[in-house]
Amino acid sequence: MMQCTDIHDRFLFRLISKKAFLYTEMVTTGAIIHGKCLEQLNFNREIEHPVAVQLGGSDPTDLAICSKICSSLGYDEINLNIGCPSERVQKGSFGACLMQDPELVKDCIVAMQEATSIPITIKCRIGVNDRDDINFLNEFVAKILNPSLKTIIVHARVAILTGLTPRQNRQIPPLKYENVYQLKHEFPGLEVVINGGIKDVDDSLEHLNKVDGVMLGRSPYDNPMIVSNVDSKIFNEIDLGKDRQTVLREYLQYCLHQLDQGHPLSRTLKHIFGLNRGLKNAKSFRKLILETIQKNNLEVTQEDLISMV
């Protein structure tokens, strides 16, 4: 998620779950090729796996070049964004508008697959504009599928390409989970991952009766501790078992270390607002985070912050 799932946020999530599959923000091929976002592609190799990078682009040659770069960096998967409806992205002819051009999507996927041996996946919507019927998604997938494309993530809403902001496009079109379930029914050999409006692990387990995977965006970002039982409930492994205070203590140590390396508190502390989600002192917690960023004095406030979660 843009402005959210950066390297710091992913570090925070790895303090809570060792198994959840993490995704970067979308990085455009243009930015990579022009060398503008090398920092954005960075990740913590020792702790962050499994982690996927998401690319935005529609030129097969550029996507192949970027796939090669991302693969050499050590990512576990490369995901192509075919779901972003923003105007800026449409101007670049990528994101959700690509669902209207399955031939090009097919060429992009093949070019990426030929450039690397790590899995290439896509993330799309159920359709675009007035095409929110089951046939549209099934036909789109039938046209782009090849034997090496094994996983598709579907945000269970249409993307409306004119008149809605990206935020509205995540709220206004209704969720149609049934279309995603039908996709799995139509293509039983394909790994289908469902996304959109899924709140927590229990909610995920319901969907897992019908599809192979779930992707959660806003709810864990707004309340990171909801992934604390992912390892046991989804992967049958032992949870890390840390409480909020332990997670925050470890993350604040990381923030101090990052500060020494030149990464400002504004970049690292912005991810902790949700750590006291559901507690009474949300307002004062928020205020103290903002003050800490402003005064650049985490060493002074860290124990107070920890006591508030």
Ligand X SMILES: Cc1cc2nc3c(=O)[nH]c(=O)nc-3n(C[C@H](O)[C@H](O)[C@H](O)COP(=O)(O)O)c2cc1C
Residues in touch with ligand X (CB under 6 A): 1-4, 25-26, 54, 81, 83-84, 123, 155, 170, 195-198, 216-219
Q: Are 124 and 140 in contact (CB under 8 A)?
A: yes
Of 30 and 302, CB closest to ligand X: 30
Is omega for the bond preceding 50 within 30 degrees of 0, making it cis? Answer: yes
- Is 84 assigned a catalytic role? yes
User: By beta-carbon distance, which residue lies closest to ligand X?
Assistant: 217
Q: How far is the CB of 302 from ligand X (least distance, A)?
A: 27
Of 272 and 305, CB closest to ligand X: 272
Of 29 and 54, CB closest to ligand X: 54
Q: How far is the CB of 26 from ligand X (least distance, A)?
A: 3
Of 31 and 308, CB closest to ligand X: 31
What b/e string do you get for 48-76 counting C-beta neighbours within 10 Å, with b at 16 or more?
beebbbbbbbbbbebbbbbbebbbeeebe
Rounded CA Rg of the chain? 20
What are the C-alpha distances in Å from 102 to residues 116, 269, 309?
21, 41, 48
Q: How far is the CB of 81 from ligand X (least distance, A)?
A: 5
Which residue of the set 84, 97, 108, 124 is catalytic? 84
Q: How far is the CB of 220 from ligand X (least distance, A)?
A: 8
For 252, other C-beta atoms within 10 Å of its C-beta total: 22
Q: How far is the CB of 303 from ligand X (least distance, A)?
A: 31
Q: Are 126 and 136 in contact (CB under 8 A)?
A: yes
> Which of 153, 69, 73, 57 is closest to 109 using CA atoms?
57
Rounded CA separation 273/275 (Å):
6
Rounded CA separation 306/97 (Å):
44
Of 185 and 199, CB closest to ligand X: 199
Retrieve residue 171's tokens. Answer: 């709220």
Of 213 and 217, CB closest to ligand X: 217
Position of tokens 């990464």? 263
What are the C-alpha distances in Å from 181 to residues 53, 206, 209?
25, 12, 10
Q: How far is the CB of 233 from ligand X (least distance, A)?
A: 17
Beta 77-82 vs 51-56: how paired, if at all? parallel
Q: Are 127 and 136 in contact (CB under 8 A)?
A: yes
Q: Which residues are catalytic?
A: 84
